Each structure stands twice: as C-alpha cells, then as structure tokens.
C-alpha cells in the first residue's frame, strides 16, 4: 500500500530542546511539504522540497529546519528557537512540477506538545 | 496574491439535509481548486479537484462542487448529509503562472451533523 507515514503520533518537547518529526513516503513523489495546523488557522507552509538535496522556506520557516537526503524522506526539526511549537504537523507529498497544480497527499500527522 | 475565504467556521445540518460549504477565492491567474476533508486527529484527504475540464466536479462520498468564475466561488455540496460526514473541510486554491506557484488553504469549516 502506497502512502505517507509520520512518526511519532504524539511528541513532547521540553524547553530548549530540539525535536525531529519523521516523514516517509513510498509514492515515488518528487515533492514533499511540511505544514503546521493550529485551530481556526488552516494550514501554513513551513518548508517544501521539490527535489532531493534542495528545499525552500515556506511562510513560517523561522524556528524550523529540514533536510532532504533521500527522495522518500523529509524530516522536520523543531528547534529551540521556535517559541510556540505546540501544533499539529502535517507532511504531504506530490508528484512534482507546479506546486499549485499537483494534488498533495497527506500523512496522518504528528501532534507536538510542550512540557 | 491568492487567497481563500471559507464562510462559516462551523456549519450545522440535520442528517439527511443538504450540505453546503462555501468557498470564495481570489487569484490573478486561472486557479486550480481543491476540497479536502479532515477527520479528527488525522491528515487531509482529497475530496475533489477542479482543473478547468468541467465546471461541475464530482468527488468521493457523494460530494460535488461547482466552479463559478463570475462569482469566484467553488462551493461544496452534498444532497443528503450522513453522520459520517462530520469533519473539518478545507478549500484550497492552487496557482501556477507569472513565475510563481503555490497552494493556499482556507481556514476550514467544521461540519456538524445533527441526528
């Protein structure tokens, strides 16, 4: 079964700690995305990558970092610089090409909570 | 700049009644339009997508949406609501042209189904 997996489902962060969220896809998609979802605010783009070893900042990249060393994987690190990290994080992928044209497929999400 | 407005953060309908979720967009280039559904603590699932092939788009689970250029709208409808339709619905506008492309999500509408 092709799809996107995210782990863990829940993640707890202590003050000053960096945490990494995992995203893996087996859809053979070129493009991958990270979104942050807060209640009543829709989805906001953090980072995206359209090809291995390349990624671009989205609308709210401050306090986050990513890597794209493999086509299948696009991990997101929430750094200590992100002062309000509590949110639901969604990873998505698409075939590639124009971001606005291609359908994005989403993983099940990771909920990050601050202790 | 592209934007999406979903009228009504919460919509309540009775089981068996018509579902109407409103979406208006602004786009400087011909848009691609999407409706996604999100069940609690899950990722987003594509309901349907408008790509200019036909103004009336049929999606999964009995939903459909009509693209009205003159009204810049892409409202989502279902003739008869079912309890399983209770979820969050997101409209998104994709754009590609003029050297830029991307996908913008609305803030979402929470659909409540009353028995």
Looking at beta carbons, which residues of chain A come within 8 Å of B96?
Answer: 98-101
Question: In angstroms, rounded to a whole number, what is the distance separating the alpha carbons of residues A23 and A7?
Answer: 7
Taking only the tens place, the pLDDT of each residue in B5-46 is: 999 999 999 999 999 999 999 877 778 999 999 999 899 999
Q: What are the beta bridge partners of residue B88?
A: B38, B110
Contacts of A64 (CB under 8 A, 6+ apart): A34, A46, A47, A76, A77, A78, A79, A82
Q: Does B28 touch chain A (CB under 8 A)?
A: no
Order of strands, edge to edge, in the sheet holding A19-25? Answer: A4-7, A19-25, A76-78, A64-66
Q: Do residue A100 and residue B105 have CB atoms under 8 angstroms apart?
A: no
Distance CA B103, CA A102 (A): 9
Neighbouring C-beta atoms of residue B115, cutoff 10 Å = 6
Contacts of A60 in chain B (CB under 8 A): none
Chain B residue with CA closest to A59: the answer is B104
- The alpha carbon of residue B20 is apart from the nearest alpha carbon of chain A, in Å, by 19
Six-digit token string for B37: 């559904």
Mean pLDDT to the nearest integer, B47-59:
90
Across the interface, whether the CB atoms of A90 and B102 are under 8 A apart is answered no
B9-31 core/surface letters (b: 16 or more CB in 10 A; e: else): eebebeeeeebebbbbbebeeeb
User: Average pLDDT of B44-57?
Assistant: 91
Close Cβ partners of B26 (under 8 Å, ≥ 6 residues apart): B1, B2, B3, B72, B93
Name the average pLDDT for chain A.
Answer: 94
B94–A contact, CB cutoff 8 A: yes
pLDDT (tens digit per residue) in B81-108: 999 999 999 999 988 776 667 899 999 9
Predicted pLDDT at A115? 84
Average pLDDT over residues A73-85: 94
- Count of Cβ atoms closer than 10 Å to residue A81 Cβ: 11
Nearest to B108 among A42, A45, A105 (CB): A42
* Beta bridge partners of residue A52, listed in sequence order: none
Contacts of residue B53, defined as CB under 8 A and 6 or more positions apart, other chains included, come to none
Tokens 């979903």 correspond to B6
Distance CA B65, CA B35 (A): 9
Q: Chain A residues with CB inside 8 Å of B91's CB?
A: none
Residue ranges in chain B assigned as alpha helix (H): none
Report whether the peptide linkage leading into residue B6 is cis, meaning its omega lies within 30 degrees of zero. no
Q: Which residues contact B36 (CB under 8 A, 6 or more apart)?
A: A106, B44, B45, B46, B47, B89, B90, B92
Dist CA A90 CA A58 (whole Å): 14
> Tokens 């830029």 label which residue?
B100
pLDDT for res B56: 95
Measured in angstroms, the CA of A73 and the nearest CA of chain B are apart by: 17
């Amino acid at each position: 079964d092709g799809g996107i997996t995210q782990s863990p489902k829940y993640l707890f962060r202590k003050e000053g700690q960096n945490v990494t969220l995992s995203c893996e896809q087996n859809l053979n998609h070129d493009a991958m995305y990270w979104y942050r979802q807060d209640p009543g605010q829709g989805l906001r783009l953090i980072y995206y990558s359209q090809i291995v070893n390349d990624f671009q900042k989205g609308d709210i990249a401050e306090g986050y970092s990513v890597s794209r060393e493999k086509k299948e994987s696009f991990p997101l690190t929430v750094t200590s610089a992100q002062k309000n990290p509590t949110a639901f994080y969604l990873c998505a992928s698409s075939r590639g090409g124009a971001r606005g044209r291609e359908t994005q497929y989403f993983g099940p999400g990771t909920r990050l909570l601050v202790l | 700049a592209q934007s999406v407005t979903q009228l009504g953060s919460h919509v309540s309908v009775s089981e068996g009644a018509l579902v109407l979720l409103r979406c208006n967009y602004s786009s400087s280039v011909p848009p691609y339009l999407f409706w996604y559904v999100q069940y609690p603590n899950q990722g987003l699932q594509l309901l349907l997508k408008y790509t200019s092939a036909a103004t009336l788009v049929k999606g999964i689970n009995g939903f459909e949406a009509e693209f009205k250029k003159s009204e810049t709208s892409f409202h989502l409808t279902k003739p008869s609501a079912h309890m399983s339709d209770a979820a969050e619905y997101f409209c998104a506008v994709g754009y590609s042209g003029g050297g830029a492309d991307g996908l913008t999500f609305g803030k979402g509408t929470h659909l409540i189904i009353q028995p």
